[in-house]
Copies of this chain bind each other. A is one copy, B any other.
Amino acid sequence: MFGCLVAGRLVQAAPQQVAEDKFVFDLPDYENINHVVVFMLGTIPFPEGMGGSVYFCYPDPSGLAVWQLLGFVTNEKPSAIFKISGLKSGKGSEHPFGAMNLPQTPTVAQIGISVELLESLAQQTPVANAAVSSVDSFTEFTQKMLDNFYNFASSFAVTQAQMTPNPSEAFIPANVVLKW
């Protein structure tokens, strides 16, 4: 029903089914993974009114599983690309894999897919910046980075009246930063 592809590696099309509605792919050597693609194979659609929540699971330093909600796949949007390289220090979120005690190996992470009601999915909030499958999210990410920069740089802004005498230090007019 599902496929999983780590950018640069061979596709996986045979998840481990850990419950009637839960599927898990192993991601060996996950420290060297940047993007993961999760997709429906196109053979079996979700039952009417159902979809899949997609989780990334990695072992924390003490070997406990940390789960993070990446996003969703549905019959209407049967594939998604997620960027997981920034998530490994993030906090875990609520997840439906709690009782499964997947074996944790220090270098192996997992992608978990939980089949749930669409109404249930609509109430779940994925971690920020994981989805890279739309133009919007990429543009928003870049814009956010530039906003952060402007806020950061502005905190150092001075007017000429406030400057301490040091004629050799270079200054950039703040409106140049804003225009860029």
Please report A residues at the B interface, Cβ cutoff 8 Å.
3, 5-11, 32, 34-35, 37, 39-42, 77-81, 83, 85, 132-135, 138, 142, 145, 149, 152-154, 156-161, 163, 165-177, 180
Q: Which of B7, B35, B80, B173 contacts A171 (CB 8 A)?
A: B173
**A159 pairs with B149, CB closer than 8 A:** no
Residues in B whose Cβ lies below 8 Å from that of A79: 5-11
**B8 pairs with A80, CB closer than 8 A:** yes
Q: Which of B10, B145, B160, B175 contacts A163 (CB 8 A)?
A: B160
Residues in B whose Cβ lies below 8 Å from that of A77: 8
A interface: dominant SS: mixed
**Smallest CB–CB gap between A55 and chain B, Å?**
19
Known: A9-B78, A35-B132, A160-B169; 20 extra A-B contacts, CB below 8 A, are A5-B79, A8-B77, A8-B79, A10-B42, A10-B79, A11-B78, A34-B138, A83-B138, A85-B135, A156-B173, A157-B171, A158-B170, A158-B171, A158-B173, A159-B167, A159-B169, A159-B170, A160-B165, A160-B166, A177-B177
**B160 pairs with A167, CB closer than 8 A:** yes
Q: Which of B7, B142, B177 contacts A81 (CB 8 A)?
A: B7
